[in-house]
């Protein structure tokens, strides 16, 4: 098959899949549907997605979650459905999740194969782009493949509090499997590559693979432990202690998944972002960062944070990594 775009037509009645490689043929079927859309992104056929469409009660899923030419688009037209899935190299999608789960869980070969079989649709997000909004009813979970995301709440006066920062390999909205209405926002902190996994496939995987279900459950418990630590960090530590603790936490979480370089890690954030993480003002954040630099504890070059003296930062931030449970024995 050529490298041209591939559009998959799924005829539910006959369960026939026809691969069409010409964009013009697809456009001739419905000119209005994709009117004004740029060149199609590369597409591929994902078997599980088609089965998901065909198992529904005679109707296909109708979703336009992503912008044209940049993500998933599923359209209903009688007994004919068009499925368009933005493709990425298959390796990084489940690999990020598996690498993260292996840090603190014992997974056997069967668990790994089950995770590798998950249908994951990739999409890129810009900094501060909303992923899921409070009040939404998501039908997919979001896997962070690259970049950072954060969960937050906003007051009636428009003041934002960041509740947690999430790194590659984490599924920050895993609770949406059972809590059907989002009670907070999930937003890209930096430019992100995300993978979306339909709820039904995660639930099916958990039912068939208890070891994987236990690993995902453990990840949600670690999330809760991090929430508890953030509460005491914001409520009972000084501004300098809060910053030292946050930097040490991020380093400890990034190092096991290969996202650090010696004593450095990349964190392309603004002082306003850090202020909303630590319950401070941007002016106060600037003062704290300057203090850490003057004390030779921290160096910031462009988007890279270099921890010059981790033992001293650990002591300053009263940092004890136990709450991160970074080993299966913990």
Q: Is the Cβ–Cβ distance between 127 and 188 less than 8 Å?
A: yes
Hey, is 204 helix, strand or coil? Answer: helix
What sign has the CA pseudo-torsion 7, 11, 14, 15? positive
DSSP characters for 207-272?
A: HH-HHHHHHHHHHHHHHHHHHHHHHHHHHHS-HHHHHHHHHHHHHHHHGGGT-EETTEEE----HH
Q: Is the Cβ–Cβ distance between 132 and 181 less than 8 Å?
A: no
- CA 82, CA 99: separation in Å to the nearest integer? 34
pLDDT of residue 91: 54
Q: Is the Cβ–Cβ distance between 80 and 9 less than 8 Å?
A: yes
- Look up residue 270 and give its two tokens: 């603004």
Q: Is the Cβ–Cβ distance between 301 and 220 less than 8 Å?
A: no
- Using 50, 70 and 90 to split pLDDT, how confident is the model at 7? very low
Mean pLDDT throughout 190-201?
Answer: 96
> pLDDT (tens digit, 9 = 90+) per residue, 204-236?
999 999 999 999 999 999 999 999 999 999 999
Cα 171 to chain centroid distance, Å, stands at 6
Cα distances (Å, whole numbers) of residue 135 to 153, 165, 180, 182, 198: 12, 20, 9, 5, 19
Tell me the Cα Rg of the chain: 22
- CA 266, CA 176: separation in Å to the nearest integer? 29
Residues 224-255: b if buried by 16+ CB within 10 A, e if exposed: eebeebbeebbeebebbbbbbbbbbbbbbbbe
Task: Say how many C-beta atoms besides its own lie within 10 A of residue 7's C-beta.
Answer: 21
> pLDDT (tens digit, 9 = 90+) per residue, 242-276?
999 999 999 999 999 999 998 999 999 999 999 99
Residue 47 pLDDT > 80: no
Q: What are the structural domains, with CATH classification, of the chain?
A: 7-84 (no CATH), 92-224 (2.60.120.10), 237-324 (1.10.10.10)
Task: Say how many C-beta atoms besides its own lie within 10 A of residue 304's C-beta.
Answer: 13
Task: Say how many C-beta atoms besides its own lie within 10 A of residue 107's C-beta.
Answer: 18
Least confident of 80-84, 274-278, 283-287, 301-305: 80-84
Q: What percent of the chain has pLDDT over 70?
A: 72
> pLDDT (tens digit, 9 = 90+) per residue, 83-96?
333 334 345 578 99
Q: Which residue has the higher pLDDT, 31 or 191?
A: 191
pLDDT of residue 302: 87
* Average pLDDT value over all residues in the chain: 79
């Amino acid at each position: 098959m050529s490298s041209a775009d591939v559009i998959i037509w799924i005829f539910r009645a006959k369960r026939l899949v026809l691969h069409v490689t010409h964009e013009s043929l697809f456009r001739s079927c419905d000119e209005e549907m994709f009117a004004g859309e740029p060149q199609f992104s590369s597409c591929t056929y994902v078997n599980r997605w088609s089965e998901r469409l065909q198992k529904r009660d005679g109707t296909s899923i109708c979703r336009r979650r992503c912008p044209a030419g940049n993500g998933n688009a599923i359209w209903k037209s009688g007994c004919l459905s068009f499925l368009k899935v933005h493709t990425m190299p298959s390796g990084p999608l489940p690999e990020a999740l598996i690498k993260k789960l292996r840090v603190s869980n014992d997974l056997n070969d069967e668990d790994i194969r089950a995770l590798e079989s998950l249908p994951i649709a990739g999409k890129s997000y810009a900094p501060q782009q909303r992923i899921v909004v409070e009040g939404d009813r998501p039908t997919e979970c979001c896997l962070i493949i690259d970049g950072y995301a954060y969960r937050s709440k906003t007051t009636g006066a428009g003041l934002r509090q960041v509740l947690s920062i999430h790194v590659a390999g984490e599924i920050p909205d895993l609770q949406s499997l059972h809590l059907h209405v989002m009670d907070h926002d999930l937003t890209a902190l930096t430019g992100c590559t995300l993978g979306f996994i339909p709820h039904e496939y995660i639930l099916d995987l958990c039912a068939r693979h208890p070891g994987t279900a236990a690993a995902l459950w453990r990840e949600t418990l670690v999330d809760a432990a991090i929430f508890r630590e953030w509460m005491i960090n914001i409520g009972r530590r000084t501004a300098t202690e809060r910053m030292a603790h946050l930097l040490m936490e991020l380093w400890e979480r990034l190092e096991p998944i290969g996202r650090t370089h010696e004593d450095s890690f990349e964190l392309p954030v603004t002082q306003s972002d850090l202020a909303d993480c630590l319950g401070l003002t941007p002016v106060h954040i600037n003062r704290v960062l300057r203090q850490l630099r003057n004390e030779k504890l921290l160096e910031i070059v462009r988007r890279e944070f270099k921890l010059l003296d981790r033992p001293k930062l650990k002591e300053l931030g009263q940092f004890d990594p136990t709450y991160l449970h970074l080993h299966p024995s913990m």
